[in-house]
């Protein structure tokens, strides 16, 4: 038996594998374009990675020591899918390269290969200040995954908001401290 093409949109076809045209699972002629139009608002996510050191000074276990992580930052945006055939971002919520560029410039480049230290951790903050040209980021809160996710959300939210004229907005920042541990900062958390 041969494969068969089924019309899925305005003039396009999608090849399907072998099937019995008389069988109960035969594909039905459908208007997928109507479904696509109904999905005009979507979410997209871009992931970036960076390395940084920190410590949680009052932690009761290993995290009280100076150490580092391979962090991963996921930025989730929602917005309308751009429907403009004359634009390079046609069919996108936002170009992933632009999502990356903003997060990289305003968060990742600042935190990558830096030591993230709480301003109240005076011993470590003073030690790091004494190292010439050391990349140190002094934070107003303890650099837990939760606090870093909240801070990244606060930094990035105004940068993405309505940036494309398609009601674009930041919905979530997920920060992985390890592959098994992460914190989510959601729009609802930003009150």
Domain spans of the chain, in order of start: 4-36, 40-190
- Residue 25 is among the residues annotated as catalytic for this protein: no
**What is residue 162's predicted lDDT score, i.e. its pLDDT?**
72
Contact 170, 179 (CB under 8 A): no
Neighbours of 1 (CB within 10 A): 8
Q: Helix 96-103 vs helix 145-160: angle between axes, to the nearest 10 degrees?
A: 120
Q: Which helix (H) or strand (E) holds 33?
A: helix 32-38
Average pLDDT of the segment spanning 20-33: 56
Token digits for 177? 């401290």
Task: Determine which one of 65, 113, 134, 181 is catalytic.
Answer: 113
Average pLDDT of the segment spanning 144-166: 91
- The region of weakest confidence among 26-40, 108-122, 139-153, 157-171 is 26-40
**What is residue 41's predicted lDDT score, i.e. its pLDDT?**
85
- Which letter does DSSP use for residue 50 in this model? E
- Residue 113 is among the residues annotated as catalytic for this protein: yes
User: Average model confidence (pLDDT) for the chain?
Assistant: 85
Average pLDDT of the segment spanning 37-57: 91
Bridge partners, 7 (sequence order): 13
State the pLDDT confidence band at 23, using cuts at 50, 70 and 90: low
**What is residue 28's predicted lDDT score, i.e. its pLDDT?**
58
Residue 111 has pLDDT above 70, yes or no: yes
Average pLDDT of the segment spanning 87-92: 87
Cβ-count burial 117-148 (b if 16+ within 10 Å, e if not): bbeebeebbeebeeeeeeeeeebeebbbbbbb
Q: Which helix (H) or strand (E) holds 114?
A: strand 114-118
- Residue 106 is among the residues annotated as catalytic for this protein: no
**What is residue 87's predicted lDDT score, i.e. its pLDDT?**
86
CATH entry, 40-190, from 3.40.250.10, 1.10.275.10, 3.30.479.10, 1.10.240.10: 3.30.479.10
Of residues 156 and 164, more confidence is placed in: 156
- Name the one residue in this structure whose structure tokens are 């674009």: 168
Of residues 185 and 6, more confidence is placed in: 185
């Amino acid at each position: 038996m041969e494969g068969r093409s089924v019309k899925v949109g305005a003039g396009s076809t999608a090849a399907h594998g072998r099937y019995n045209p008389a069988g109960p699972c035969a594909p039905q002629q459908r208007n997928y374009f109507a479904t696509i139009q109904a999905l005009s608002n979507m979410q997209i996510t871009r992931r970036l990675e960076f390395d940084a050191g920190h410590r949680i000074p009052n932690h009761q276990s290993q995290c009280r020591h100076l150490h580092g992580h391979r962090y991963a930052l996921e930025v989730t945006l929602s917005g309308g899918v751009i429907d403009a055939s004359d634009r390079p971002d046609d069919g996108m919520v936002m170009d992933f390269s632009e999502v990356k560029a903003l997060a990289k410039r305003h968060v990742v480049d600042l935190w990558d290969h830096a030591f993230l230290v709480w301003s109240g951790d005076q011993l470590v903050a003073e030690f790091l200040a004494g190292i010439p040209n050391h990349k140190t980021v002094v934070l107003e809160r303890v650099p837990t995954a939760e606090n870093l996710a909240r801070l990244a959300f606060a930094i990035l939210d105004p940068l993405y908001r309505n940036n494309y004229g398609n009601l674009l907005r930041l919905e979530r920042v997920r920060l992985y401290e390890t592959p098994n541990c992460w914190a989510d900062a959601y729009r609802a958390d930003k009150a």
